[in-house]
Structure 1
């Protein structure tokens, strides 16, 4: 295939790609005579095409995770769309793959988290330019690997809209096709306003798609997804990552049925899911200090005392003893952990022994009590093996996460829902 679409710039289509409507091509520049590019081609629809071109102009400042427009125009050729008038958009050659083409099970967790962060940064950039994408989905994200570095790039701005001072009314979307990743306000017959949170919903669906290795947050049956989206029936049970609980906490907020309850992009970027282990431990320290300012049975301290850190269940009586879910009984090091931390097997109980050595009377059913134990990790003991774990933030957090996967999520939700104004210092994290 060789189709010249612009004789003045010598822009040519050379071959089709696996992606519908996307072609490989060449466009000369000052350095390379036939630079390889990607060319997106659509049948001409005046309003939509003008909108896409206008919004791409606003995104012309290069950003690594958002597609850049090199050129655009109109052409007609019998080999493309049966000779109908088409609009083309020329982009740098990112990749011939999208997220839909990737075997997500082969990606390591650090790589996955970096991809999610890139998507978050890209959408934040788009929103900063006062544009709503409105069609975020795995097919609209390029995926490329260059020298071992993975980069994802958001493209597909055909349904995008500029938003300045007011939300967009859904009446302006009647000509647009919704997708499996569209928010409730983008579904047919919706009378809800469309804002930046519409994209947050779609991004949450992509997060789940990646973290579940290709599953959909609203079910495997394509025909039922729109119904499940409108009726707020997600299924987030297929997450495949070591931090599933805190990831679920973030995704649940992002795909909230009510737009006003979804996080802003700034809140997504600052969510505990993206924190380093050191940040998480610092959060625990700040939270502990904040709770010490209040009466035992009031405020956040009292709330945390009523929550079991293993099950997340609230109890009416914080003194109630649940021996089955007592966190104090889960501090023994496993054989694998002893090997990982280079600790003798006869010292597998070194962390648990701290409970007997401490002057603090820990409540094994209290999240606050566990928070207190973590906070005091550095002053509990001179035992060299305890220090090997407690003074290494990665070791310590892995130790906590392995035993109490809901712990960080419990802290996050409790702080966010707290009415205490004195928590401003702690809430700055997210």
Structure 2
């Protein structure tokens, strides 16, 4: 077992099994947030198992050899805590937030659920129905659906372009044995990270985790932690194209953009500044032009999504269908302008301030501090201090931002639309 101090109040222990434990002590709080992070997400699924990660996320709260589904929820709620989970394309997280005195309970319950779930066949059938309803509900939220359509436009048939939840065609035939094999193959100690932040002691957390793991399927022999995710050479963004999904909606939902940067690209700091200038707030170019000056859309913003080896950038707008063409033209004008002429020094300063403020203000609770620890360890392989990150943002130059703008927005763009349209309404 190896323990190291990463920063003041932050410690990291690697158990002999390869499972990692990272904590941050925040003595001024009376709460603690705990997360069990697994470095497996929807991009790790074969086509026949599309949606298995999300399916499994549902099932791990349905019962273990020690606890029923009711026990899992009741034990945490009885102390006023909360627990939940989420699945992404590259990792899955199970988390709880409790009073500091109840952290031992949270560790025992969450570790038990993640390490030793039974996956009863009856529970598989129940959750299959829940997930199919969730997929149907998602299709009733066109403002969310359009982002999934856009990801498919950019990444095509690569797993990064697929829905995290799976589809009715993939979820319906998936068997309990398939899900269980996926569980035991991928939920191994080297892939798992336990992160906690709050009023805690690192050595105590390590003892609690080791006790909870004893005798479980994760209590395994010596191994090294899994390395950070490597690049997948299959990730290719195809030629720019347009995808239109017909829905009888009152609003048109539009995303225009293209491939972006991976999260290990040092230019991500310049992209963060650019994103804020372009569409990151009420003072941004897109908000001012489309909403404030013309009142054409209630919601308009730009965003960047980053994965280990790929990313995308896009501009979203929700507007009346009759105004969709005008809104698209205005978005194109702004993207052309920033690609050709870049941003000003005043915008650079404001964009930096927005990035720094959002980051620091986002660390005001134990949950966000816990997530910061986990993502740094799991996705980046190191933990940047707050001061180091602010320094990196301060070092961004206007030339760097303008170069990124020209590269990402200077060429042809892809378009995703969900609304009362057909393909012919948006010619290439």
Judge same fold: TM > 0.5, yes or no.
Answer: no
User: Could you say which structure has the larger radius of gyration?
Assistant: 1
Q: Greater relative contact order: 1 or 2 (C-alpha under 8 angstroms, separation 6 or more)?
A: 2
More strand by share: 2
Q: TM-score, normalised by structure 1?
A: 0.24
TM-score with structure 2 setting the length: 0.25
